Every structure is written in C-alpha cells, then in structure tokens.
Amino acid sequence: MSLLHWAVLAPFIMAVFVPVLRKKAALIHTGWFVLILPIVLFGTFLQYLPVTMNNNTVMQTAPWIPSLGIDFTVYMDGLSLLFALLITGIGALVVLYSIYYLSKTKESLHHFYVYLLMFMGAMLGVVLSDNVITLYMFWEFTSISSFLLIAYWYDRDRSRYGALKSMLVTVFGGLIMLGGFLVLSIMGNTFSIRELAARAPELNEHPLFLLAMILVLLGAFTKSAQFPFYIWLPDAMEAPTPVSAYLHSATMVKAGIYLVARFSPIFAFSGYWFWIVGAVGLFTMVWASFNAVKQTDLKSILAFSTVSQLGLIMSLLGIGAASLHFETLDDNIFTAAVIAAVFHLINHATFKGSLFMVVGIIDHETGTRDIRKLGGLMSFMPITFTLSVIGAFSMAGLPPFNGFLSKEMFFLSMVQLIELNLFNIETWAILFPVLAWVGSVFTFIYSMIIVFNVFTGKFQPEKIEKKPQEAPIGMLISPIVLASLVVVFGLFPNLLSYSLIQPAAAAIVPSIIPAGEQLDVHISFWHGITAELLMTIGVIAAGILLFKFMPKWGRVYDHFPGKVTLNQFYNSGLYAAERGSNAITNAYMTGFIRSYLVYIFTFFIAALGFTMWAKDAFRYDASAAAPIGLYEVCLIVVLLAATLTILMAKSRLTSIISLGAVGYTVSLFFVIFRAPDLALTQLVIETVSTALFLLCFYHLPKLSRHEEKRRFQAGNAIIAAGVGVIVTLLGISAHSSKFFPSINEYYVENTYEKAGGENMVNVILVDFRGFDTLFEISVLSVAALGIYGLIKLRLEKGGETNENE
C-alpha cells in the first residue's frame, strides 16, 4: 500500500467518520470537516505534477486477489493526474458550495456527504486503476453512489425515477463493459491496461478485437451519456445542484471520456474506432444541442448542453485516432484533435461547473428554475449575472474565454478531416465540419438563453416564490473561483499546455511519440484569417439571428418529439420487463411448498438420471463388498418396518415414535459398522429429539391427511420412487468405481504424529477439519437464537404489527 493507494481509499475511510461527526459536532456544518479531505488530496496529487510533466509515470501494486491476477495497481500518468486533479479540485469547490446550499438543520447531511465521499473515492479509483477488474469495481461504485445522490430527496417521485433510470442505464453499460474487459483480458492474457496496450498490435489482429471494442465503448457511451443512452442525464438533474455540478457535469460523466482516452492506445489504430467514436460523438453533440434549446428548465438546458459537450469531446478523441496513421510528428495534424479534447475537457469542467452553481444560486434565491418565470434578475444579482456571462460565453465559444480556444481547435480538427485519405472518408468528410458548425450554432443559442432570458427582460415578481437577492458570499466563492479559471485559462492558455495537457494527450497516443520528444502544444489566440475563425464568426452571426427570431422558428420543435420517443422506449421497455417477469414468476411461484419440492426433485432425477445414462456411468461391482450378516438383515427389517409405519401412521404419536425407532436402528447400524462416536451421538440426539417432539407435542396439530386425491398421491409416489432409485443407483455406482485412492491413510498416519490424539474421528473434528466444526457450532447457535426469537417475538394475530418498529 503506497501513498496513492491511501489517497484512493481516504474518501471511503472518511465516509465512515461522517455520521459520527454529524452527531458529535452537530453545531458545525458537516461539510467543513469533509472539505479538508479533497483539499489535502488535491495538494497530494499536485506533487505528482513534476513527475508526469516529463512523461514519467508512477506505478504501485498492492496484491488483492493474487490467485486470479487481480491486483489493486495504481498507475499515475498525465491522463490520470489530470482527472485526479479535476476530481479533487472540483470536489473541494463543490463541498464548499454545498455547505451554503444545504441547510444544516433541515437536510440529512451525513447521508449526503457519505455518498459524496464514496463517489469521490470511487472516481479516484477509476482513473488511477491499472487493473481492469479493479477499474470495473470502482466504475460500478460511481454508478451506485450516483444513484444514491440523485435519489437524495427520495420522497420525490421524480428523484426516484431519475435515480433508477441512471442506475439501470449506467450499471447495464458497466456490465457490458465488464464483458469487454474479460474478452480483452482473454485476448491479451492479462488484466493490466498497461500490458494490454503494449500488446496492441497483436490484439488488433485478433478475431475478437471488434467485439471487445464495441463492448467497452458501450460502457463508455452509457456513462458519458452519448446518443442514444443520454436519456438518463436530464432526469438525473433531480439531484441537489452541487451533485449535478460535480457528478453530472464535471466528473462522473467524464469517466466515459476517460475510458475512451485510456483505451485509445489499445483500440484506436482500428478504423472502426475512428468511425464509431467520432460519429457517435458528433451526432450526440448536434442532437443534444438542438434539444437543449427547447428546454425551459435551466438545469435541463445544462443537462442537454453537458450531453452535447461530452459528444464534442468524444468526437475529438475519435478523430484524434487518425493521428496514429502518420509516420512523423511534424506533419501530424491530428494530434491537435487529441490536444483539443484534453483542453476542452478542462474548460468544460470549469465553465459548466460554474454555470451549474449559478443555476443553483438562482434556484436557491428565487425558488424556481423555469426560464418562463424568470427575467430581469440582473439588477438583483449582479455578481451571479457576471458569473453566468463568463460561463455561458465561454460555452458559446466567444473570446477571450477558454471555450473560444478549444472551440477553434475543434473546428480546425473537423476542417482538417477534408484532407484526410483514410478509412474511406472522402465523400463523408465534408459532413463533419458542417455538423460541428450546426451544433455550435445551437450551443450558442442556448448559452444566450441562459444569460438573457434569466437576467434581462421583464422582471416577473408575481411568478416567483421569493424576493430575489444576491446569494451569500460563501455560495459565490466556488463559482467565482471557477469563473476566474475560465478567464485565466482563456487569456493564458499556455499555463496548462505543458503542465497538464501535453502529458495527458501523450498518454492517449503514446505510440506516435518518439522517445524523449513531446507533443507540440502551443495554444495561441490568433492564427490569421483561417477557416476556423470564419466558422466562429459564422456561428456568432447565425446564432444571434436565430436567438432573436426564436419565436418564429421555435415551432419546429413541435415536430421533433425526439427525446420523448427514446424515453417512451425506455419506459415501456421497463414496464414490459416488469410485467413479463411478474407473469413468469407467478406462473411457477405458486406459494405451495410442494410445487417447489417437485421442481427440485424432478430436476434432481432428470439431471442425474440423464447424466448417468448419457455418460454410461452406472457400474456394478460387488466384489469388494462386505458379507451380509444376520444382524444387519434383522436391523434392515426393523428399519423398513418403522419407515412403513410412519408412512401409514394415522396419529402423530405413532409417527413420532416410529421416527425415533428409525433413529435408534440407525445408531445400531453405527455400532455394527464400527463407528462408536456416531453411535453414541446418534443415541443421545435421538433421545433429545424425541424429548423435543414430545415437548412440542401439545402445540402440534393432529396429524391430518387433508384428503389428498389419488392422483396427487400417485404423482408423489412416482417422484419419490424416482428419487429413491436414482439415489440407490448413484450409491452403487459410487461404491463400484474407485477413481482415487482413499485419503484416510493420511489420518491414520498423522493423527498421532501431528495432532497427538488417537481417536481419529474426534481429531478430524477438532483439528484437521476444525473449520467445519467451528461453522457448525455457529450454525447451531444461529438456530437456537432463531428459535428463541420465533417463540419470544409474538406478532399480533395476522402479523399486522409493524416490522420496522
């Protein structure tokens, strides 16, 4: 366990103490304690910056399940570090913001922070794991904590619906991804991503390559809300705003981006990767930005905009894959796409994070997020207004903010595709820049909606619940920090170039970088009059026009119920699945124990009988058998007579006594067959059990046959006979075939040597197989306590007492 391991585990450990802190220090907002952790972690991770800046990596392994090759290996390179800094940095700001957002008295803060810390740890685990199985485990952890956070206000229907939806989509995606990981690990014979990447060329030739790629991509697309899986993200907005800002814009949804980036070295050489990732990303970007414009809830706009921006980054990663097909770095124009992806990832986290917090403030101070009710807030909330202008303009791609820079790079990459001679792209190439441009126009429009529909226009005090006022300073700090970063990164982008962007981009396309060299990451404002600049100007012009005349063309949306159909598909699918499984379950779960036993025994007969027949497994060999003696025959007669009595018995006393007779006969068998320990135990047990039966006697019902029909009895008899025959045949075959020498010699030799005892049975029980005995007495204890509970805990007649009391 190294420092990095502890860094991943620290949030989980902290989460344990949160409820205690909440209870013991109720006067202080629990968030203040929690805040310390992400700050410390952020500082810890910053120390790795000099390491990754030189394209060095850190790797530490702690064995977890070594026998299966599953280790908790942390691997820190530029990409991981970038994400780790985002997670802890934004995490710290979100926690700070939540301190003012969530009331100390009204909310169950301990739940909130436990979930949030769980998420933080899981997310760190995702980006730092080198082992795919560990990665998968943390991946699902993020889904679960996201589920809990979305359902934080679990008394709201919409919250529960959104939480369930997000969990179903992302967990199923994760499961599919696990399939991809397993295929990959079978192909490469290792669970380590680093080793898989080293074998990328041979994996490329493997017949399962495409399957593995598609499975892994499905995992990434569900998590990153790509088309058509994006439907969960808008519903996830039911979560408290700090959660939306953290999980559903800055970090968790980027896990999919991370995954695509992380697996690029393995998959990206393939043309399929280029097409799937690039096209899905671009289409998602256009589709979601188009849909964002029609939303009326501010958070929904942001949700769709997040989907769209994630699509943008995804498409950049896809196009960046083209860079692998160039021989030298100098003429490799597509590394720019990878660099743009990383740069936009950082920018998106800053401006979207601040926008979410701004929306949270508006919601908090006015009581609504509906843009139809809001307007003219500029004079009431000047600081919030400024922040939203910075965030939204950056998102729209306007100078001098960081969004402008990455948007330019995005256009540049798309335009360059026209000159690409790979993957049969010729005829389609022109579509890429066109779609990118269209998507950006819509992005521009909804960015303007966020600013102008809320802050300018007519103030409508009658429609909002509270009198708007500026938020408390504590709530403003976090968005201010993020907005300043938007401006700083916009003005001085090269602060990031070689510290964060280059190492991260290099980790995505390591194979094209010769040893000792670096990618050229110089970001500048002015390139002269270029295609991308003209595109930006076009976006602004078209965007302003469309924004102005929105009421005129807005009706287009009436003809595009796009989101609705996908959602309907999800809803009806879920409903049908529930109905279907209900129907199937009810068909065989009759609630009648006999049905279940019939299933079990029929399966027993069928499975064993079939195997015995198919494998020709029946053997008969009586040569090793002991001779049959007179005593034994007598005992067998007694035993069978007693059994028959039970079957025929009309009264419960007869059957209980006959059962006792069977037990005593069995103990006599033990005597004859040289098992004194068993004989003793059986005798005593039989006595105690009979006493037990007699004790219960008065409470037990009279033995009644419940008028079983002949057919019922005949069916039972057939199954019973079947089981009996199978067991007999099984026993005879087992006796007649000796595949292995018996291990009993071991006990004969070692009972005295190693355990210092002479009674082998007892020594086996307490020494050689002590675990059996330990668990056995535990089971017995549970049984005793269960009985105690059953008798002492009396529910009212009909069991109406509340079990939760």
Partner 1 sequence: MEILMCIVAGLLFAAAVYLMLSKSLLRIIIGTGLLSHGTHLMLLTMGGLKAGAVPVLGEHAATYTDPIPQALILTAIVISFGVTAVFLVIAYRAYQELGTDNMEQMRGMDTDD
Partner 2 sequence: MKTNDVIFQTVAKVVFFMIIFFAVHLFFAGHYYPGGGFVGGLLTSGAIVLLLLAYDMKTVRRGFPVDFKWLISLGLLFSVGTAAGSLMFNVPFFTHAYDYFQLPLFGKTSLHTAMLFDLGVYLVVIGVTMTIIQTIGESE
Of 631-660, binders to partner 1 (CB under 8 A) are 632, 636, 639-640, 643-644, 646-647, 652, 655-656, 659
Residue 677 binding partner 2, by CB under 8 A: yes
Instruction: State whether the Cα torsion 640-645-648-652 is positive or negative.
Output: negative
Min separation Cβ 584 and partner 1, Å: 14
Residue 571 binding partner 1, by CB under 8 A: no
Q: Is residue 757 packed enough to be buried (19+ CB in 10 Å), middle (13-18) or exposed (0-12)?
A: middle
d(CA 524, CA 627): 98
d(CA 149, CA 574): 22
Min separation Cβ 600 and partner 1, Å: 10
Residue 660 binding partner 2, by CB under 8 A: no
- The count of residues interacting with partner 1 (CB under 8 A) is 99
Site for partner 2 in 730-769 (CB under 8 A): 755-759, 761-763, 765-767
Q: Which is nearer to partner 2, 544 or 671 (CB)?
A: 671
Site for partner 1 in 275-314 (CB under 8 A): none
Residue 522 binding partner 1, by CB under 8 A: no
Smallest CA-to-CA distance from 90 within 349, 411, 340, 273 is with: 349
d(CA 803, CA 791): 16
Q: Which residues contact 670 (CB under 8 A, 6 or more apart)?
A: 676, 678, 679, 682
Q: Which is nearer to partner 2, 584 or 783 (CB)?
A: 783
Residue 552 binding partner 2, by CB under 8 A: no
Q: Which stretch binds partner 2 (CB under 8 A): 469-477, 520-528, 645-653, 771-779?
A: 771-779
Q: Which stretch binds partner 2 (CB under 8 A): 60-68, 310-318, 523-531, 686-694?
A: 686-694
Q: Which stretch binds partner 1 (CB under 8 A): 316-324, 393-401, 536-544, 757-765?
A: 757-765
Which does residue 792 touch among partner 1, partner 2, none (CB within 5 to 8 A, set by kind)? partner 2
Q: Which is nearer to partner 2, 178 or 764 (CB)?
A: 764
Distances (CA, A) of 361 to 244, 368, 383: 13, 10, 11
Q: Which is nearer to partner 2, 634 or 782 (CB)?
A: 782
Residue 606 binding partner 1, by CB under 8 A: no
Instruction: State whether the Cα torsion 527-531-535-538 is positive or negative.
Output: positive
For 543-547, which contacts have Cβ atoms below 8 Å and span 24 or more sequence positions?
543/396, 543/441, 543/444, 543/445, 543/448, 544/444, 544/448, 546/441, 546/445, 547/444, 547/445, 547/448, 547/449, 547/452
d(CA 564, CA 338): 34
Smallest CA-to-CA distance from 521 within 542, 498, 541, 503 is with: 498
Smallest CA-to-CA distance from 655 within 666, 668, 642, 667 is with: 642
Structure tokens at 607: 């499975």
Cβ atoms < 10 Å from Cβ of 170: 31
d(CA 141, CA 135): 10
Q: Which of 629, 676, 724, 731 binds partner 2 (CB under 8 A)?
A: 676
Q: Is residue 452 packed enough to be buried (19+ CB in 10 Å), middle (13-18) or exposed (0-12)?
A: middle
Min separation Cβ 687 and partner 2, Å: 6
- At 306 the three-state DSSP class reads helix
What 3 state SS string does 66-99 have? HHHCEEEEEEECHHHHHHHHHHHHHHHHHHHHHH
Which does residue 755 touch among partner 2, partner 1, none (CB within 5 to 8 A, set by kind)? partner 2
Beta-carbon-side half-sphere exposure of residue 71 (alpha carbons within 13 Å): 16
Q: Which of 2, 296, 687, 713 binds partner 2 (CB under 8 A)?
A: 687
Structure tokens at 222: 């569900």
Residue 666 binding partner 2, by CB under 8 A: no
d(CA 512, CA 503): 14
Q: Which is nearer to partner 2, 564 or 782 (CB)?
A: 782
Residue 791 binding partner 2, by CB under 8 A: yes
Residue type, 365: E
Q: Which stretch binds partner 2 (CB under 8 A): 151-159, 173-181, 197-205, 787-795?
A: 787-795
Residue 788 binding partner 2, by CB under 8 A: yes
Residue 671 binding partner 2, by CB under 8 A: no
Q: Which is nearer to partner 1, 469 or 582 (CB)?
A: 582
Site for partner 1 in 187-246 (CB under 8 A): none
Residue 474 binding partner 2, by CB under 8 A: no
Q: Which of 201, 551, 627, 741 binds partner 1 (CB under 8 A)?
A: 627
The answer to whether 128 and 194 have CB atoms below 8 angstroms apart is no
Q: Which stretch binds partner 1 (CB under 8 A): 37-45, 124-132, 493-501, 769-777?
A: 769-777
Which does residue 568 touch among partner 1, partner 2, none (CB within 5 to 8 A, set by kind)? none
Distances (CA, A) of 75 to 78, 439, 755: 10, 36, 47
Q: Which is nearer to partner 1, 28 or 783 (CB)?
A: 783
Residue 698 binding partner 2, by CB under 8 A: yes
Q: Which of 533, 544, 617, 675 binds partner 1 (CB under 8 A)?
A: 675
Cβ atoms < 10 Å from Cβ of 298: 26
Q: Which stretch binds partner 2 (CB under 8 A): 329-337, 352-360, 574-582, 672-680?
A: 672-680
Q: Which of 662, 668, 711, 740 binds partner 1 (CB under 8 A)?
A: 662
Q: Which of 186, 600, 633, 692 binds partner 2 (CB under 8 A)?
A: 692
Q: Which of 296, 560, 676, 801 binds partner 1 (CB under 8 A)?
A: 676
Distances (CA, A) of 748 to 555, 740, 765: 90, 17, 14
Site for partner 1 in 709-728 (CB under 8 A): 715-717, 719-721, 723-725, 727-728
Residue 735 binding partner 1, by CB under 8 A: yes
Min separation Cβ 694 and partner 1, Å: 11
Q: Which stretch binds partner 2 (CB under 8 A): 6-14, 431-439, 485-493, 677-685?
A: 677-685
Min separation Cβ 577 and partner 1, Å: 16
Q: Is residue 102 packed enough to be buried (19+ CB in 10 Å), middle (13-18) or exposed (0-12)?
A: buried
Min separation Cβ 147 and partner 1, Å: 23
Smallest CA-to-CA distance from 343 within 361, 322, 320 is with: 320
d(CA 442, CA 542): 9
Site for partner 1 in 367-396 (CB under 8 A): none
Angle between helices 209-223 and 132-150 (to 10 degrees): 30
Query: How many residues are given for the chain?
Result: 805
Which does residue 659 touch among partner 1, partner 2, none (CB within 5 to 8 A, set by kind)? partner 1
Q: Which of 108, 581, 773, 801 binds partner 2 (CB under 8 A)?
A: 773
Q: Where do contacts with partner 2 occur on this chain (CB under 8 A)?
A: 676-677, 680-681, 684-685, 687-688, 691-692, 695-696, 698-699, 755-759, 761-763, 765-767, 770-771, 773-774, 777-778, 780-781, 783-785, 787-788, 791-792
